[in-house]
Amino acid sequence: MPLVILLIIALIVFAVIILIASSLIGLIFTLIVAGIVGWIADMIVPGELPYGWLGAIAAGLLGSLIGGLLLGNLGPEIGGISVIPALVGAIILAFLLEWIGQRRRA
C-alpha cells in the first residue's frame, strides 16, 4: 500500500513539473514573438524605441493589446499573439513614443 501511495505522489509531481515546464516554454515563446513584432515596428518607425530589446518586447506586448482592441483577432496567431494587430499596435505605440520623445527634447 505505501508503494502505491508513493507511486501516485510521484505521478502527481511529474504532472506538475510537466505543466510548469510547458507554461514557461509558452511564456518564453510569446516574449520572443512580441520582441520580433516590437523590433519590426522599431525598424518601420523613425528613431529608436527606448530600452533596446526590452523596449521592443514591451512594444510588442502593448502593441498586441492596442491592436487587439482596434482590429480584433485579424490574421495569423503565433505564440498567442495575433501578428497583424500586434504589429499595427506596436507601430502606433512606437510613433507615440517617438512623438513624446520629440516634445520632451524641444
Give CA 74 to chain center in angstroms: 17
50's CB contacts (< 8 A; 6+ apart) are: 97, 101
How does pLDDT run across 12-40, given as a tens digit for each residue? 888 888 888 878 888 888 888 889 999 99
- More confident site: 14 or 79: 14
Give per-residue pLDDT as tens, 36-78.
Answer: 999 999 899 888 888 888 888 888 889 888 888 888 888 888 8
Q: Can you spell out the DSSP letters for the chain?
A: -HHHHHHHHHHHHHHHHHHHHHHHHHHHHHHHHHHHHHHHHHHHSSS--TTHHHHHHHHHHHHHHHHHHHH-S-S-EETTEEHHHHHHHHHHHHHHHHHHHHHHH-
pTM above 0.85, yes or no: no
What's the pLDDT score for residue 8? 85
Name the residue ranges covered by the structural domains of the chain: 38-106
